[in-house]
Amino acid sequence: MNITQIMAPTRHNQGFALAASGRCRHAGFTLVELIVVVVMLGALALVAVPSMASAQTSRSRGAAQQIGQDLNFARRRAQATGVASWVIFTPAQSMYSVLSESTVTPGRLNASTITDPASGQPMLIRLRESGFDGVTIQSTTLMNNEVGFDRFGRPTLSTGALMTSNGVVTLSAGATVNISAQTGLITVSTP
């Protein structure tokens, strides 16, 4: 065996041969490569975080619009039929329902859930199941979390008396739905 055969690179001594020749490179990343990766991840985070917050705000706006439309539906239905309608909020479960009083036995306690004319389903709306995942009903200023509309479209309390102060439904991310005490006008305010 001669010296060239001993030093010939093989699978077992290739690292030794490279080290002896001064061309050794260890597997791994250099500090510069790691810094570049960290900077790139930071830049991506700066872009991703605002867009996630924007998505939440967008869902909150959509939920507020939907609640406003359903309140208007209840109001217009009461005006068209002459039968009082109700919207009952359950903030703890982030849901609400739209009801109509019975023509035989009027009053809030005898009201039953309205069937949605578009879907044929009861108007019992859970925000997370309606495409508004992550949006919650934070609070309402409505007495017993409910508002009725009489045959003139005026907002009423569960006692049957007309509302004397505006009602507000507040959603997460700052969206609000406002009910005017005098006119029953529904407006939506979004961030």
Domain ranges of the chain: 31-189
What does the pLDDT look like over 94-130, one tens digit per residue? 999 999 998 887 778 888 899 988 889 999 999 988 8
The pLDDT score that the predictor gives to residue 50 is: 55
Q: Which residues pair with 139 in a beta bridge?
A: 170
Statement: residue 7 has pLDDT above 80: no
- pLDDT > 70? residue 47: no
Higher pLDDT, 55 or 53: 55
The full 3-state SS of the chain, as one line of letters, equals CCHHHHHCCCCCCHHHHHHHHCCCCCCCCCHHHHHHHHHHHHHHHHHHHHHHHHHHHHHHHHHHHHHHHHHHHHHHHHHHHCCCEEEEEEHHHCEEEEEECCCCCCCHHHCEECECCCCCCECEEEHHHHCCCCCCEEEECCHHHEEEECCCCCEECCCCCECCCCEEEEEHHHCEEEECCCCCCEEEECC
CA distance to 37, 52, 171, 187, per residue, from 190 (Å): 38, 17, 10, 10
CA 127, distance to chain mean position in Å, is 7
User: What is the number of alpha carbons within 13 Å of residue 84 lying toward its C-beta?
Assistant: 26
CATH topology of domain 31-189: minor pseudopilin epsh fold (3.55.40)
Using a cut of 0.85, tell me whether the model's pTM lies above it.
no
Is the pLDDT at 75 greater than 60? The verdict is yes
Contacts for 66 with CB less than 8 Å, ≥ 6 apart: 125, 130, 132
Separation between Cα atoms, residue 188 and residue 180, nearest integer Å: 11
